[in-house]
Amino acid sequence: MSEPSRLRRVFSAIWNGITRVRLALSNILFLLFIALIYFVYMGGGAEPPPERAALLLNLAGTVVDQKSQVEPLQALLGEPAPEDHEVLLRDVIEAIQYGAADPSVNSLVMELDELVYLGISKAQEIAVALDAFKATGKPVVAVGDFFTQDQFLLASFADDIIVNPLGGVGLEGFSSYRNYFRETLEKLSVSMHVFHAGEFKSIAEPFLRDDMSPGEKLITGRWLEVLWGQYAATVEAQRELPPGTVNTYVNNFARLLAEQGGDLICTLLNQTTEQGGKFGDLCSRPSGKRAVHLLLSPRGGPSLDILESAYDFAFI
């Protein structure tokens, strides 16, 4: 058998060399990929928790008992808007309970700027967990630039409330609105036939009237008054305010705001503390040169003079 030609041997050697280089590069890339997966998922492990830390409770969206069903296609398209985001009530309560039992957690901070809706019933359930947290000797602080009605209800259970000096608290009370279609149905030549017996039968009113009937106004006003009474009583009890303070603030808000020159924070300070006169100097400063934050706390703490001189804080 004849030996291969010199040219064939040269090309064969080159080809074998290329094959070996290709295999070596493939193996190296494979090993690098394995190492990358190891370091991403297992390398170094989780960072050890600090010896002293605050538990951050950043509620965004609506607190619900059970999450709504999400369409798979909608979930793939992107994250929901903040107002559509849902937080399970049970998750919130369990997080607070874990923080109370964890010795490395020394406080709880509630960031409430992105909280859209909570409700009185859910706030009361969270309040039980917050009371248990505070019973361990750990403080609870609520932080926000501007507190809506729901946000302030939850914040009232904190030891301290920190609010931006350019912010405020928006309390409006509760209301009920319905749409009425009688005139529209008449224009469309649609006739509604309703049979009812007794008083306060308002289920069909939207089809028969253009406004709320006196009877419906009466019964709606009653349950709204009870609901608002629960809200006001809760806030006043938690912030140690005299009964009626919340209603005075809401019902006379326009006048009180005008007296303070349109300053929301000073309006709030003078209505949520019996020591409103102490804040004359603070409220006389330009809002941009005031404290970085205002602390609303009825439960004692550093003296007002020390806080104002050292940190430009107001402590209520």
Residues 6+ apart with CB under 8 A from 208: 182, 192, 194
> 284 vs 61, 245, 255, 267, CA distance in Å?
36, 24, 19, 12
Q: Over the stretch 81-109, which tens digit does the pLDDT of each residue have?
A: 767 788 899 999 999 999 898 888 888 99
> Which value, to the nearest 10 degrees, does the dihedral of the CA atoms of residues 141, 131, 247, 292 take?
-10
Highest mean pLDDT range out of 14-18, 112-116, 253-257?
112-116
Neighbour-count burial for 67-92, b at 16+ CB within 10 Å, e otherwise: eeeeeeeeeeeeeeeeeeebbebeeb
pLDDT in tens, 150-188: 999 999 899 888 887 777 888 888 888 888 888 888 888
Interval 174-223: pLDDT, tens: 888 888 888 888 888 888 888 777 776 778 888 888 888 888 888 888 98
Residue 271: per-residue pLDDT: 65
297: which strand partners? none
- Lowest mean pLDDT, pick from 13-22, 50-59, 144-153, 294-303: 294-303
DSSP string, 163-189: EEEEEEE------------HHHHHHTT
Q: pLDDT class for 309, splitting at 50, 70, 90? A: very low
pLDDT band at 290 (very low <50, low <70, confident <90, very high): very low
**Residues 6+ away with beta carbon under 8 Å from 309:** none
**Distance of alpha carbon 44 from alpha carbon 49, whole angstroms:** 14
Give the mean pLDDT of the chain.
77
Query: Is 154 in contact with 118 (CB distance < 8 Å)?
Result: yes
Section 30-45 average pLDDT: 78
pLDDT grade, residue 304 (50/70/90)?
A: very low
- Give the residue-averaged pLDDT of 20-24: 88
Q: Round to whole Å and give the CA distance between 238 and 159.
A: 9
Q: Is the pLDDT of residue 24 over 70?
A: yes
Q: Is the pLDDT of residue 278 over 50?
A: no
The domain made up of 53-171+220-315 is a member of CATH 3.90.226.10? yes
**Among 207, 213, 212, 211, residue whose Cα is nearest residue 184:** 207
Cβ–Cβ < 8 Å for 99, 108: yes
Tell me the two tokens of residue 229: 């009474």
313 vs 300: CA distance, rounded Å: 14
**Is pLDDT of 315 > 80?**
no
**Mean pLDDT, residues 62-67 taken together:** 86
| 272-278-283 Cα angle (round to 5) | 80
How does strand 294-296 pair with strand 314-315?
parallel
Domain boundaries of the chain, sorted by first residue: 53-171+220-315, 182-217
- pLDDT above 50 (res 276): no
Distance (Å, whole) CA 204 – CA 183: 14
pLDDT of residue 273: 55
Q: What percent of the chain has pLDDT over 70?
A: 77
